[in-house]
Chains A and B, each alone.
Chain A
Amino acid sequence: MNRYLYDGTPEGLLSAAARIFSEERDPETVSLDERKDTLFEEGVFIGTDPASAETFFNRLRLEAPDAAYTLYYFTLAEKDGMETALLHYLAQALLHGDRVNGNLTHPAIRDIVAVSRKAQRELHRMKGLVRFEKLRDGAYLARMEPDHNILQPLAGHFSRRLRAEDWFIYDVRRRIAARWHQGKLQFGSIEQFVAPALSDEEKEVQALWQTFFRTIAIPDRKNPRLQKSNMPMKYWKYLTEKQGE
């Protein structure tokens, strides 16, 4: 079994995949890991080649769009240590095309699809759970701490939905933000976050929402377990309706 190493970047991974597929007869017997530069590390290092990474990704998009979609969400999961599984998944994708995700009894396919789905699920969840607050200058700000790096597709969702407003979405843990301003979407990192002042009516609107949240529940059907399983407590920190609980 041949061992390969790469630099840990997504482009590096695709470059490595491109080269392994062109050189190895059976890529599913090959392993790929991130180079850690430890003393006992073994394997052939493959450097990043942006051009071949792009060619490879375009080929994947053409031959197996579903797999390209799966790969995109897989990278949002920022999972380390699954490179070999991903390599085997990509080999299967090029072999079977768009049907690949149906082969769920294949261990690599199952693992990659599972991780990718988890990222998609959190993205969907955050489309509902993100809360904007109105700032003094009229723009809206949302803060969040998702497990997956979903800022980009999430901001894309809101750029189609809240077109008439100016807004920011800030990923507190990753210190990155998206900004929608005058119809343009930008991404950037934020080194020092200073919470801006809220608009005067913000607390009133929040109180209205909190009231609604309380009264819409049917007291005879109280079910905190169900509530928590649908809306895990890790998301409550930034939920307007769960402040002070």
Chain B
Amino acid sequence: METLDKLQILSGAARYDASCASSGSRREGPSCGTGNTSQGGICHSWSDDGRCISLLKILLSNDCIYDCAYCVNRATNPVPRASFSAREVVELTMEFYRRNYIEGLFLSSAVMQSPDHTMERMVSVVELLRTEERFGGYIHLKIIPGSSSALVQKAGLYADRISVNIELPSQESLNRLAPQKHKQAILEPMSLIGRQIQESLLERKSSRNAPRFAPAGQSTQMIVGASPESDLQILRLSEGLYRKMHLKRVYYSAFVPVNEDNRLPVLASPPLLREHRLYQADWLLRFYGFSAAEILSDDAPNLDETFDPKTSWALRHPEFFPVEINRADYGTLLRVPGIGVTSARRIVAARRFSVITPEGLKKIGVVMKRAKYFITCSGRPFEKTDRQPALLKSRLLLAGGSAPEPPRQLALPGLFA
């Protein structure tokens, strides 16, 4: 098979992996080699679905022994199969990199023969790239659950980022949709990687020549909407992954039906709005000082589709507002709808020069159509609202909260059978 045909099959099979980040690692290129990495990451293109292309995202093979219900590469799916040789991947990466198409390589794979066999072949590709080609660009390597810890170790020494996919947010869903995958086989390498990263960071503090282990950290991905977990369950899981395992990112991927299977829900379209709201909530966890328990509760375990999670929180907590722009601390400012990390930092910086006026606030970049209901400026409110939640909601909606999309899902055939 020609490289072009393989590329078509193996990039098509890799497109459901959400991660394309190339940030978090800063490496000077080898003096006579090719490539370096940029701390902030660089996007090189945007595909027709609007997602950024930063890495050459491919599978080494789509020839899978597993039969996960949601996966396009499942063993029983009648799709064309292909596998790259290590040399082919190396050539593609180098040719693309020299033309500045990409920031580096994202290599994943279906499970061929066994997890160890697959992982070994994947590691040998990046080994070739790093040692023979002296490639200094970004490498994201997927860890196959169930592969030996020696291979995980080796992967972390060559790659900038490594990731193990959680796939589904609970053990029950894994059992039902991916019976060959086990929670333990996923979580074990994750905690091993987490420990290694921490150790390597410590070692590098005492010696600059200590080897880096996955300098861009660890991430994971789960599919949203293929199984019945609530948003609260998902956010609690993410919270645990960030706080206990020190993950850099959790990716959420709206379930796109690619197989006919009576264990899968029937959707009119992928739950993109739900995915979007989860990402917003994820940002609240990581950058805004929120906890999962603040965002959702057992009484209301799913994110509101009408309002973003921060606005929803604000509507439930009228006692927290109004916030005085000229006095509130950074953490309090962050909780105001319409004020993000950038605006909050700017407000704090600008206050050191002079009192911020309403005009100044606009210039700083605060989204006034949302913020104005929740703030005062030198004691003066912007809007005379009686702060009745219902009235506030309708005003915010008029001001262009997002219009609710048609009800999402969900008949879950087979689930209650």
Task: Give A contacts to B, CB under 8 Å.
Answer: 96, 99, 101-106, 110, 124, 127-134, 140, 142, 158, 160-165, 205, 207-209, 211-227, 229-231, 239-241
Contact = CB atoms under 8 A, between A and B. Distances in A.
A218 B51 CA distance: 9
A209 B101 CA distance: 8
Contacts of A221: 49-51, 254, 256, 270, 272
Contacts of B11: 211-212, 215-216
Given A163-B34, A226-B50, 6 more contacts: A164-B34, A217-B47, A217-B51, A218-B49, A227-B46, A230-B43
A-B complex: 6 closest residue pairs judged by Cβ atoms: A226-B50, A102-B349, A105-B360, A223-B50, A217-B47, A221-B49
A132 B349 contact: no
Contacts of A132: 98-100
A165 B15 contact: no
Contacts of B52: 230
A219 B270 CA distance: 11
B269 interface: yes
Contact of B45 (A129, A223, A226): A129
A128 B34 contact: no
Contacts of B34: 161-165
DSSP class of A's interface residues: helix, strand, loop or mixed?
helix
B49 A223 contact: yes
A140 B401 CA distance: 48
Interface of B: 3-4, 7-8, 11-12, 14-16, 28-29, 31-36, 38, 40, 42-54, 56-57, 92, 95-96, 98-101, 103, 254, 256, 269-270, 272, 346, 349-350, 352-354, 356-357, 359-360, 363-364
A105 B350 contact: yes
Contact of B50 (A110, A162, A208, A225): A225
DSSP class of B's interface residues: helix, strand, loop or mixed?
loop
Contacts of A164: 32-34
10 contacts: A103-B349, A105-B359, A124-B42, A128-B103, A132-B99, A208-B95, A215-B11, A215-B12, A231-B45, A240-B99
Nearest to B101: A209
B16 A131 contact: no
A105 B42 contact: no
B48 A224 contact: yes
A245 to B, nearest CB: 10
B366 to A, nearest CB: 11
A160 B28 CA distance: 8
Contact of A207 (B4, B12, B35, B56): B4
B305 to A, nearest CB: 18
B234 to A, nearest CB: 20
Contacts of A227: 46-50
A216 B8 CA distance: 9
Contacts of A218: 15-16, 49, 51, 256
A131 B101 contact: yes
A113 B356 CA distance: 18
B45 A128 contact: yes
Contact of B346 (A96, A104, A140, A219): A104
Contacts of A163: 29, 31-34
B45 A102 contact: no
A142 B363 CA distance: 38
